[in-house]
Amino acid sequence: MTTTTENTVENTTETPAVLDASGVTMRFGGLTAVRSVDLKVNAGEIVGLIGPNGAGKTTFFNCLTGLYVPTEGKVSYKGTVLPPKPHLVTQAGIARTFQNIRLFANMTVLENVLVGRHTRTKEGLWSALLRGPGFKKAEAASHKRAMELLEFIGLEHKADHLARNLPYGEQRKLEIARALASDPGLLLLDEPTAGMNPQETRVTEELIFAIRDQGIAVLVIEHDMRFIFNLCDRVACLVQGEKLVEGTPAVVQGDERVVAAYLGTPFEGAPGAEEAAEVEAAEEAQSTTSKTSTTGETSTTSTTSPEGETQ
């Protein structure tokens, strides 16, 4: 018995990664937003993508989903190279949510999920919206699946509400349900907890674990480090379009270059390190002057989080 287990383990590593992005580069005119990034997501994995604002995380997602045609590189899903067309990428099995929520505000919660389902029904979007004859047959099945998804995210009691009337955190969850409606094998989440309170963030964490447990691999962009390091099997950090570090949460958390990238402290060889040092020195000089002029003032009234604001 013990002799055969080794072979089995070797064989399972042969399966192609769910996502295999290699050498992905995206240039906008003179700006290279993403530079030769390689990233894999394997079956059953939750992978995190972190990095300061403007690092190229969303641009990388847009390259994966066909919204942008990468200047260089290729993206494969389960061993097949993807054509850079959003609807073909969705059909292949990749679904996403957006950093800035994109829902049909004047449709109900249920209708939003049904729209996400149209890639998997023969009838298609227009038939679904116009309620043509073909739609009636597929309607029952789609409706059932959409309600299951709403139950899964805990919004079944709001199926008839207009999407625009949902609180922000629930709109984010609805976007996840809509993405799941296309039966993806990989889900890409762009800042799913932005603007959420700690309680909502914890619920989202549980939701993502549950999604993974259903056999859907997840790639998630987030700024909340506690959330990312708790959730992910692996984390990659982008800085100025380049993948700086990749590894387990413990490795990435302990990497001084990642800490430096977030705190803005230049590390040896960092692009733009000199400018950053100058800015830091100027800020320091300014804060010493402002401290002396505002003696006796406390700033405890300001509780707004700097992260999570809509950008």
What lies within 8 Å, CB to CB, of 137 at 6+ separation is none
We find the least distance from the C-beta atom of residue 80 to ligand ADP, in angstroms, to be 25
At residue 87's C-alpha, the angle toward residues 91 and 29, to 5°, is 135
Please identify which residue in 21, 58, 184, 218 interacts with Mg ion, judged by CB under 5 A. Answer: 58
96 binds ligand ADP (CB under 6 A): no
We find the least distance from the C-beta atom of residue 23 to ligand ADP, in angstroms, to be 17
DSSP 185-202: SEEEEESTTTT--HHHHH
Q: Which residue has the tokens 């994109």?
A: 102
We find the least distance from the C-beta atom of residue 74 to ligand ADP, in angstroms, to be 19
We find the least distance from the C-beta atom of residue 27 to ligand ADP, in angstroms, to be 9
116 binds ligand ADP (CB under 6 A): no
The residue among 170 and 224 lying less far from ligand ADP, judged by its C-beta, is 224
Tokens (6 digits) for 12 = 């399972």
Q: Longest C-alpha distance within the chain, in Å?
A: 76
Q: Hey, is 159 helix, strand or coil?
A: coil
The residue among 75 and 166 lying less far from ligand ADP, judged by its C-beta, is 75
243 binds ligand ADP (CB under 6 A): no
Q: Choosing among Mg ion, ligand ADP, none, which partner's interface includes residue 53 (Cβ < 5 to 8 Å by kind)?
A: ligand ADP
65 binds Mg ion (CB under 5 A): no
Please identify which residue in 54, 247, 249, 308 interacts with ligand ADP, judged by CB under 6 A. Answer: 54
Q: What CA–CA distances, in Å, run from 160 to 50, 101, 140, 149?
A: 36, 19, 16, 14
The residue among 16 and 73 lying less far from ligand ADP, judged by its C-beta, is 73
The residue among 46 and 194 lying less far from ligand ADP, judged by its C-beta, is 194
The residue among 31 and 259 lying less far from ligand ADP, judged by its C-beta, is 31
57 binds ligand ADP (CB under 6 A): yes
Q: How many residues bind ligand ADP (CB under 6 A)?
A: 11
Please identify which residue in 21, 33, 37, 181 interacts with ligand ADP, judged by CB under 6 A. Answer: 33
DSSP 219-284: EEE-S-HHHHHHH-SEEEEEETTEEEEEE-HHHHHT-HHHHHHHHT---TT-TTHHHHHHHHHHHH
62 binds Mg ion (CB under 5 A): no
In angstroms, the CA 272 to CA 114 distance is: 47
What is the length of the chain?
311
Structural element, H or E, at residue 131: none
53 binds ligand ADP (CB under 6 A): yes
Residue closest to Mg ion, measured at CB: 58
16 binds ligand ADP (CB under 6 A): no
58 binds ligand ADP (CB under 6 A): yes
What lies within 8 Å, CB to CB, of 160 at 6+ separation is 108, 109, 110
DSSP 6-54: HHHHHHHTTSPPSEEEEEEEEEETTEEEEEEEEEEE-TT-EEEEE-STT
The residue among 145 and 223 lying less far from ligand ADP, judged by its C-beta, is 223
Q: By the criterion CB under 6 A, which residues form the site for ligand ADP?
A: 28, 31, 33, 51, 53-59
